[in-house]
Chains A and B, each alone.
Chain A
Amino acid sequence: MRPYIREKKNFTFDDVPENTSFEAGYLTTVNSGWRSIRPVINSGKCVGCEQCYLYCPDGVISIDNGKAVIDYDFCKGCGICAKICKIGAIEMEAERK
């Protein structure tokens, strides 16, 4: 489980909470537009050591079937994963527009 993107809606005055509390883990926008480079995982090389999963500041990497998978909606392309990967299974590629 992680906070997830909700359906887009235009907040009216009535939707804005009267007190200072609101639902936790409520996401409305993605961070993918921040990237100029993107990490790409070579699943042939990946051994699932989970170092990238541990050190990702945004927590976008999860392990599926022993291989790292990236959620590109929220990856900012910082490149920490590529640097921490000892076997070089992650490469940074230019973001295509």
Chain B
Amino acid sequence: MANKTAESISRDEFFYGHKACAGCGGSLAVRAALKVLGPNVVSVLPAGCMSAVGFNFPQLCFSNNSIISTFAGTASMLTGVEAGLRARGYKDFTAVGFAGDGGTADIGIQALSGAIDRNDNIIYICYDNEAYMNTGIQKSGLTPFGAKTTTTPAGKNIHGNIRPKKNMFEIAAAHDIPYAATASIGNLPDFIKKVQKASQIQGTKYIHVIAPCPTGWGVAPDETVAIAKEVVESGLWYLAEYENGNFKLNYKPKEFSSVEAYLKKQGRFKHLADEDIKLIEASRDKKWEYINKNFEL
């Protein structure tokens, strides 16, 4: 039985033997993207889970050229890697960055914005596990409303994070970027197709992939992929692309699955009251109203 997606990517492993938690979503995103891009890829990783688990000298888990950047400078270092290799006469290579949600939406947003502005020929992949998981679960700009983290504890009066998730995909798209996309590790064929597409496009490419973290989200390690599917089914995340100035929705659930069921599966949302869940549902409906109006299907 042939699997089309598996046939379309490299059989080699480029991210192997790493020390990520069992069932880590971020490592799955990095592994899949590197298998698409092949051995001639130079990956740049800022401080974050994937650099912490991938480079423990002498255990070096990337089999392609790979480098750790400053926390804020993923996109700047990508710019430098791309320009340097081009200047030395290399043609067949890809510069790809893997930054977490904090390294993208909070600390690295300025460098990313600059790289998109210069339209450097790089791929920037943000694996979004919705908090600073590497340092022990602190709130980031991409932590959703109501989530419990160590810096947004759930108490009697305040129920976790009081601010909604930053809309990083549309922020990248607002730069008139050549290609931006959202994806989920629960739908790898879709994610792999987007990375393949990005590798064919000239200019800056941004892919935002949701990658659940069993440790920080409070789910069992074997639930990672299932919960990444459910976040799309419940409408709290969407699969879309931005190209040539147009937004395109890749997948529309026929009927949203229960938001409450999705939230209550996770330890970080256990404390939510019914009113909080109603607020989350309302913001989802508002988001989808906007998507239905402005995105092509």
Contacts and interface: CB of A to CB of B under 8 A. Distances in A.
Interface of A: 1-3, 5, 11, 16, 22-31, 34, 47-51, 53-59, 62-63, 66, 74, 76-80, 82-84
6 contacts: A1-B12, A26-B60, A27-B17, A31-B17, A53-B3, A77-B22
Interface in B188-202: 188
Interface in B136-172: none
A15 B109 CA distance: 38
B176 interface: no
B222 interface: yes
A28 B59 contact: yes
Contacts of B188: 54-55
B28 A3 contact: no
Interface in B177-235: 188, 214, 220-226
Contacts of B59: 26-29
Contacts of A51: 3
A28 B6 CA distance: 28
A-B residue pairs, 9 tightest by C-beta: A79-B222, A25-B63, A78-B23, A2-B13, A78-B22, A76-B22, A50-B3, A78-B221, A57-B28
B5 interface: yes
Given A57-B24, A79-B220, 12 more contacts: A1-B12, A2-B13, A25-B16, A28-B58, A51-B3, A58-B31, A63-B6, A66-B1, A80-B224, A80-B225, A83-B225, A84-B225
Contacts of A3: 13, 16-17, 60-63
Contacts of B222: 78-80, 82-83
Contacts of A77: 22
A27 B61 contact: yes
Given A53-B6, A54-B5, A59-B31, A22 B16 contact: no
A50 to B, nearest CB: 4
A23 B23 CA distance: 27
Nearest to B31: A59
Nearest to B5: A54
Contacts of B290: none
B226 A83 contact: yes
B63 A59 contact: no
B58 A55 contact: no
A24 B62 contact: yes
B283 interface: no
A49 B225 contact: no
B15 interface: yes
B58 A26 contact: yes
A84 B18 CA distance: 22
Query: Which interface residue of B3, B58, B59, B226 has the most chain A CB atoms within 10 A?
Result: B58
Given A25-B61, A28-B58, A49-B3, A57 B224 contact: yes
